[in-house]
Amino acid sequence: MVKRIAVVGAGISGLSVAFRLQEKLPDADITIVEQASRPGGTAWTLREAGFQVEIGPNGFLDTKESTLQLSRQVGLEKELIQGSEARKNRYLFLGDHLRALPSGFCSFLWTGLLSFRGKFSLLWERFRAQRTETGDESIDAFARRRAGDEAADVFADALVTGIYAGDPKLLSLPACFPKLADMEREYGSVIKGFFAEARKRKEEAEAKGEVYERSDRIWSFSGGMRTLVEALMARLTRPPQFGVAIRGLSKSGGPSRPVWRVHTDGNDGWDADAVVLTCPAHQQATILAELDGELAQSVGAIVYNRVVVVALGFRKSDLPAPLDGFGYIAPQNTRRDVLGVQWCSSVYQGRAPDDCVLVRAMAGGWNRPEIVDWDDDRLLTAVRAELRLAMGIESPPIFHKIIRWDRAIPQYQIGHLDRLSGIDARLATHPGLYLGGNAYRGVALNDCTEQGELLAARIGRFFAPLAA
- Which residues contact ligand FAD (rule: CB under 6 A)? 8-14, 33-36, 41-43, 56-60, 245-246, 278-280, 283, 307, 309, 405, 408-409, 437-438, 443-445, 448
Q: Beta strand 410-411 with 433-435: parallel, antiparallel or unpaired?
A: unpaired
Instruction: Give which of 278, 302, 251 is closest to 422, Cα–Cα.
Output: 302
Nearer to ligand FAD (CB atom), residue 59 or residue 397: 59
Compute the least distance from the CB of residue 229 to ligand FAD, in Å.
9
Nearer to ligand FAD (CB atom), residue 148 or residue 436: 436
Compute the least distance from the CB of residue 283 to ligand FAD, in Å.
4
Nearer to ligand FAD (CB atom), residue 122 or residue 358: 358
Compute the least distance from the CB of residue 331 to ligand FAD, in Å.
18
Compute the least distance from the CB of residue 398 to ligand FAD, in Å.
23
- CB distance 297 to 426 below 8 Å: no
Burial class (CB in 10 A: 0-12, 13-18, 19+), 364: buried
Would you give the distance in Å from CA 408 to the centre of its chain?
A: 10
- CB distance 463 to 24 below 8 Å: no
- The C-alpha atoms of residue 419 and residue 423 are separated, in whole angstroms, by 6
Compute the least distance from the CB of residue 29 to ligand FAD, in Å.
18
- The C-alpha atoms of residue 277 and residue 280 are separated, in whole angstroms, by 9
Compute the least distance from the CB of residue 72 to ligand FAD, in Å.
17
Amino acid code (one letter) for 108? F
Helix, strand, coil shares, percent, the chain, to 5: 40, 20, 35
Nearer to ligand FAD (CB atom), residue 188 or residue 223: 223
- CB distance 220 to 212 below 8 Å: no
- The C-alpha atoms of residue 175 and residue 7 are separated, in whole angstroms, by 25
Nearer to ligand FAD (CB atom), residue 380 or residue 448: 448
The enclosing H or E element of 429 equals: none
Compute the least distance from the CB of residue 150 to ligand FAD, in Å.
27
- The C-alpha atoms of residue 313 and residue 386 are separated, in whole angstroms, by 15
Amino acid code (one letter) for 150? E
Nearer to ligand FAD (CB atom), residue 150 or residue 177: 177
Instruction: Give which of 272, 231, 229 is closest to 249, Cα–Cα.
Output: 272
Nearer to ligand FAD (CB atom), residue 148 or residue 224: 224
For residues 434-463, b (16+ Cβ closer than 10 Å) or e, as one string?
Answer: bbbbbbbbbbbbbbbbbbbbebbeebbebb
Compute the least distance from the CB of residue 108 to ligand FAD, in Å.
25
- The C-alpha atoms of residue 302 and residue 236 are separated, in whole angstroms, by 30
Nearer to ligand FAD (CB atom), residue 14 or residue 269: 14
- CB distance 130 to 188 below 8 Å: yes
Nearer to ligand FAD (CB atom), residue 278 or residue 332: 278
Compute the least distance from the CB of residue 37 to ligand FAD, in Å.
9
Alpha-carbon dihedral of residues 185, 63, 309, 48, nearest 10 degrees? -170
Nearer to ligand FAD (CB atom), residue 52 or residue 283: 283
Compute the least distance from the CB of residue 204 to ligand FAD, in Å.
25
